């Protein structure tokens, strides 16, 4: 071992030690915070009990189930149960003592009436009452074929048919001149922008309504949306690179179908061909529709009948425009590949069915919130690519009247259809 | 687990007792009492479970942690340390110690920081005869200001409003008991709502010089607890613990005169009331007259209002009494009388021998 090698070895060891020193300091600090010193230091407030009533189920044998979870800092004992603020005998399984994040099932014998509103409450050992309101009681569906089929039908009605109806605009889409293309594409951006924001607001609403401490969930919504957006952009650009490499090497299968504007010729391969864009829109919308399915399913499960009907009508109208969004990039292609169009439609529409199933049978607020956030990330990713596409094909999109008016009309149109929600 | 085991043993015991008694003829009342802890007023039985039962309507609380023993309180009257002055007047001395740091079980499994006179909610019932001198040695063992304020006729400085007694402080209240009637006493430190909600109150009875007719006398204070401080009561009770007399029915005798000294100390709600089943009663508003004001089965009171209720039961059996504000009833202010035919039950004992 010569001097240099030895020197580099000590350097390595030194570096390793240096890496660990801050971690060790942090570790020691955390340990001391849990010790007596930390306990006296952190003894600055009262940890209030927090109970989340996650789910309420109604059964025909005159029982109501309530699923509760301790989301506070300390162990909590459930002492009493009430319906509509009237104390009732009940049973709690496995037991009344809930560790942090532990859950229990409460069974309350109660002759409930279909369609009436009930507030289920629990009182902890320190006398704090927590409650959850169900707007309209409805028999909790058991997982069965008929229910499965009914949910699938709702999913098809809300997600698949409207998207396909929108795809029928494809023939009109073909042969549009550049201005009309810009106009339609920016309408799509407007539509998607609305959907992305709408999904975030929707998930925020769920967070505020259902979590005693929504700020953490709100942060989670933003983080999930961002991660979804960035990782989808990363995956898409990898795919595009691969594709453009292949296109350069082989017979330019797809690209020869595209009539490129003069300026876009060189940049086109770096970005997207219309079919990739359409596919991307389909995937983004599919993720979004999965979230919509979850919302519909859960509103059925929670007995929000009026809301369910409004959701179905509203989403149906909304989703027709999604079909338009999918076909809009294809205006300059000469392709008559109907099969491909059908696949795009299915990618966008089918997830609604899956969402309705999951939402309708085992609803969790957190999963719905997460899927909505992933969906809005996917939509923002699509907006990013369409915008780049528009920038590549136009000198200055912000001074282009077709693009600006299209964007505004897209948003306003979605807002108008959204009034049904 | 322990609790459900105890419940199970009680149920088994009840069934065996029930079967045994059934072999000899008994009255309806006995049967009912034996099965009453298994019976549900909602019509639905608790489902079989591997978990725990949460049922304040049938389960009791551990007496050691309980805010009061309602059956003891019901018939416990404190006449004070009695001495006769030179002029022949009776002097009654009472000691009332205020505290505000106890945590007691107010309903099965629910613990609340109660503020108390002598450690219970309601505080002890104090009783004197019209014209007696009443001396209250008041000690504040709490961490906040408290006073003793009673209704009735007395001097301003004995009213317990302006002379606030601080932590560790003492005060002696002295006044002549007048007029006869039933009165509430309570702490009069602001915020009043807080001091009352936490339990600083009790009943004060002044008997007329010529005593009332002999009766089985009971004292009842209607109250509530707002345990999560949202200015709405979570529990309503008579004598401190919700539903207590549902699983410990008050034993009374058929045809015997029952006299209830009833006080409403309920905070936050505008009114409260008392309704007796299958019977009618005479009501003496504030107990200040000897002729009844009402012959009825329901009486409604605002906070601080009170009166005397007199009745007797014609038939043996279990009879409910509760607030006819059904919300209060279904949050704990629901009770039972168990009327016994003493002659029949003595016959039963004889025949058993």
Q: Which two tokens stand for residue B168?
A: 């560790």
Q: How far A109 CA sits from the closest chain B CA (Å)?
A: 6
Residue A54 pLDDT exceeds 60: yes
Tell me what pLDDT residue B28 has. Answer: 45
Do residue A91 and residue B51 have CB atoms under 8 angstroms apart? Answer: yes
Other CB atoms within 10 A of residue B2 CB = 7
Q: How far A324 CA sits from the closest chain B CA (Å)?
A: 52
Tell me what pLDDT residue B20 has. Answer: 43
Tell me what pLDDT residue A139 has. Answer: 80
> One fold for both B70-207 and B216-344?
yes
**Closest by Cβ to A127, choosing from B42, B227, B327:** B227
User: Where are chain B's structural domains?
Assistant: 2-55, 70-207, 216-344
> Among all residues of chain B, which has the CA nearest to that of A104?
B51
**Single pTM value for the model:** 0.70
d(CA B193, CA B182): 22
ipTM score over 0.85, yes or no = no
Architecture of domain B70-207: Sandwich (2.60)
Eight-class DSSP state of B40 = -
Q: What is the pLDDT of residues A193-216, one digit of tens each?
A: 887 888 888 888 888 887 777 888
- Average of per-residue pLDDT values in chain A: 80
Which CATH topology does B216-344 take?
Immunoglobulin-like (2.60.40)
Other CB atoms within 10 A of residue A36 CB = 8
CA distances in angstroms from B295 to A31, A345, B20, B284, B292, listed in the order given? 72, 79, 42, 9, 7
d(CA A399, CA A396): 6
Q: Residue A284's pLDDT band (boundaries 50, 70, 90)?
A: confident
Q: Which of A48, A62, A87, A111 to mutate to test the interface with B (most CBs of B within 10 A)?
A: A87
Tell me what pLDDT residue A247 has. Answer: 55
Tell me what pLDDT residue B296 has. Answer: 97
Percent of chain A with pLDDT over 70: 83
B176 interfaces chain A, CB cutoff of 8 Å? no
- Choose the most confident range, by mean pLDDT, from A217-226, A247-256, A295-304: A217-226
Tell me what pLDDT residue B234 has. Answer: 94
Residue A166 pLDDT exceeds 70: yes
Tell me what pLDDT residue B6 has. Answer: 55
Q: Residue A253's pLDDT band (boundaries 50, 70, 90)?
A: very low
Residues recorded for chain B: 353
B234 interfaces chain A, CB cutoff of 8 Å? yes
Q: Residue A272's pLDDT band (boundaries 50, 70, 90)?
A: low
- Which positions in chain A touch B242 (Cβ < 8 Å)? 87
Q: Which two tokens stand for residue A274?
A: 């219309």
Tell me what pLDDT residue A66 has. Answer: 92
Residues in chain B with pLDDT values less than 70: 1-44, 60-64, 344-353
pLDDT average, residue stretch A265-287:
69
Percent of chain A with pLDDT over 90: 12
**Closest by Cβ to B42, choosing from A88, A123, A128:** A88
Residue A267 pLDDT exceeds 60: no
C-alpha angle A261/A262/A265, rounded to 5°? 85
Under 8 Å CB pairs connecting chains A and B tally to 107
Residue (of B286, B279, B273) closest to B334 by Cα position: B273
Q: Which of B54, B62, B226, B234 to mutate to test the interface with A (most CBs of A within 10 A)?
A: B54
Write the burial class of residue A239 (CB in 10 Å: 0-12 exposed, 13-18 middle, 19+ buried).
middle
pLDDT average, residue stretch A84-112:
90
Tell me what pLDDT residue A370 has. Answer: 84
Q: Residue A316's pLDDT band (boundaries 50, 70, 90)?
A: confident
CB-based contact A417:A197 (threshold 8 Å): no
Q: Which residue has the higher pLDDT, B319 or A171?
A: B319
B56 interfaces chain A, CB cutoff of 8 Å? yes
Tell me what pLDDT residue A144 has. Answer: 74
Tell me what pLDDT residue A266 has. Answer: 41
Instruction: Pinpoint the alpha helices (H) of A262-337.
Output: 265-268, 274-301, 305-327
Q: Residue A397's pLDDT band (boundaries 50, 70, 90)?
A: confident
Q: Which residue has the higher pLDDT, A34 or B153?
A: B153
User: Containing H/E element for A385?
Assistant: helix A365-393
Tell me what pLDDT residue A243 has. Answer: 60
Sign of the torsion angle spanned by Cα atoms A412, A414, A416, A421:
negative
Q: How far A92 CA sits from the closest chain B CA (Å)?
A: 5
> Among all residues of chain A, which has the CA nearest to that of B2?
A95
Write the burial class of residue B184 (CB in 10 Å: 0-12 exposed, 13-18 middle, 19+ buried).
buried
- Which positions in chain B touch A92 (Cβ < 8 Å)? 51-54
Tell me what pLDDT residue B30 has. Answer: 46
Domains assigned to chain A? 51-134 (2.60.40.10), 145-251+258-418 (no CATH)
């Amino acid at each position: 071992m010569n001097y240099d090698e030895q020197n580099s070895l000590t350097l390595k060891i030194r570096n390793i030690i240096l890496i660990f020193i801050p971690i060790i300091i942090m570790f020691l600090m955390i340990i001391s915070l849990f010790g007596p010193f930390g306990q006296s230091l952190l003894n600055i407030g009262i940890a209030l009990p927090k109970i989340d009533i996650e789910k309420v189920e109604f059964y025909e044998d005159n029982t109501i189930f309530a699923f509760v979870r301790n989301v506070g800092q300390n162990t909590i004992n459930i002492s009493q149960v009430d319906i509509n603020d009237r104390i009732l005998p009940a049973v709690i399984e496995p037991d009344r003592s809930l560790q942090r994040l532990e859950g229990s099932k409460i069974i309350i014998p109660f002759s409930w009436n279909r369609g009436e509103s009930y507030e289920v409450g629990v009182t902890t050992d320190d006398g704090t009452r927590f409650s959850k309101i169900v707007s309209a009681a409805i028999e909790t569906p058991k997982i069965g074929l008929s229910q499965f089929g009914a949910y699938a039908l709702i999913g098809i009605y809300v997600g698949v048919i409207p998207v396909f109806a929108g795809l029928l605009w494809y023939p009109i889409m073909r042969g549009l001149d550049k201005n009309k293309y810009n106009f339609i594409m920016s309408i799509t951006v407007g539509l998607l922008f609305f959907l992305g924001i709408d999904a975030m607001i929707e998930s925020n609403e769920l967070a505020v309504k259902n979590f005693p401490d929504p700020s953490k969930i709100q942060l989670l919504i933003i983080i999930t949306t961002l991660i979804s957006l960035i990782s989808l952009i990363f995956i898409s650009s990898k795919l595009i690179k691969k594709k453009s490499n292949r296109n350069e090497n082989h017979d330019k299968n797809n690209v020869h179908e595209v009539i490129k504007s003069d300026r876009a010729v060189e940049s086109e391969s770096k970005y997207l061909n219309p079919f990739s864009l359409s596919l991307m829109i389909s995937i983004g919308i599919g993720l979004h529709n999965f979230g919509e399915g979850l919302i519909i399913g859960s509103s059925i499960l929670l007995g929000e009948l009026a809301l369910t009907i409004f959701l179905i009508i509203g989403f149906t109208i909304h989703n027709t425009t999604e079909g338009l969004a999918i076909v809009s990039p294809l205006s300059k292609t000469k392709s008559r590949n109907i099969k491909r169009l059908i696949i795009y439609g299915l990618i966008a529409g089918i997830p609604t069915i899956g969402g309705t199933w999951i939402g309708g049978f085992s609803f969790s607020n957190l999963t719905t919130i997460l899927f909505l956030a992933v969906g809005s990330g996917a939509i923002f990713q699509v907006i990013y690519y369409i915008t780049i596409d528009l920038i590549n094909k136009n000198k200055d999109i912000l001074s282009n009247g077709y693009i600006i008016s299209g964007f505004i009309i897209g948003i306003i149109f979605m807002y108008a259809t959204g009034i049904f929600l | 687990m322990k609790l459900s085991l105890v419940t199970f043993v009680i149920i088994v015991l009840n069934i065996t007792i029930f079967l045994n008694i059934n072999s000899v003829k008994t009255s309806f009342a006995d049967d009912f009492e034996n099965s009453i802890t298994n019976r549900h007023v909602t019509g639905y039985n608790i489902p079989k479970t591997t978990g725990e039962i949460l049922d304040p309507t049938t389960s009791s609380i551990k007496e050691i942690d309980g805010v009061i023993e309602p059956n003891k309180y019901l018939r416990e009257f404190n006449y004070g340390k009695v001495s006769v002055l030179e002029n022949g007047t009776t002097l009654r001395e009472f000691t009332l110690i205020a505290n505000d740091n106890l945590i007691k079980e107010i309903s099965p499994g629910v613990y609340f920081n109660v503020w108390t006179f002598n450690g219970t909610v309601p505080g002890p019932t104090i009783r004197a005869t019209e014209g007696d001198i009443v001396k209250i040695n008041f000690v504040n063992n709490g961490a906040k200001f408290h006073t003793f304020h009673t209704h009735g006729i007395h001097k301003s400085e004995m009213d317990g409003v302006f002379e606030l007694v601080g932590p560790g402080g003492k005060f002696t209240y002295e006044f002549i008991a007048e007029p006869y009637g039933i009165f509430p006493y309570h702490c009069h430190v602001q915020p009043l709502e807080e001091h009352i909600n936490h339990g600083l109150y009790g009943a004060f009875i002044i008997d007329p010089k010529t005593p009332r007719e002999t009766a089985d006398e009971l004292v009842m204070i209607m109250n509530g607890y707002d345990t999560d401080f949202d200015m709405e009561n979570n529990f309503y009770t008579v004598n401190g613990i919700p539903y207590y007399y549902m699983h410990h029915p008050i034993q009374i005798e058929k045809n015997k005169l029952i006299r209830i000294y009833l006080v409403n100390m309920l905070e936050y709600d505008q009114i409260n009331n008392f309704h007796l089943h299958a019977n009618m009663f005479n009501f003496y508003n504030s107990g200040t007259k000897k002729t009844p004001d009402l012959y009825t089965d329901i009486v409604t009171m605002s906070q601080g209002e009170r009166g005397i209720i007199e009745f007797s039961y014609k038939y043996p059996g279990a009879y409910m009494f509760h607030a006819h504000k059904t919300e209060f009833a279904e949050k704990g202010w629901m009770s039972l009388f168990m009327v016994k035919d003493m002659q029949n039950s003595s016959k039963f004992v004889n025949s058993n021998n």
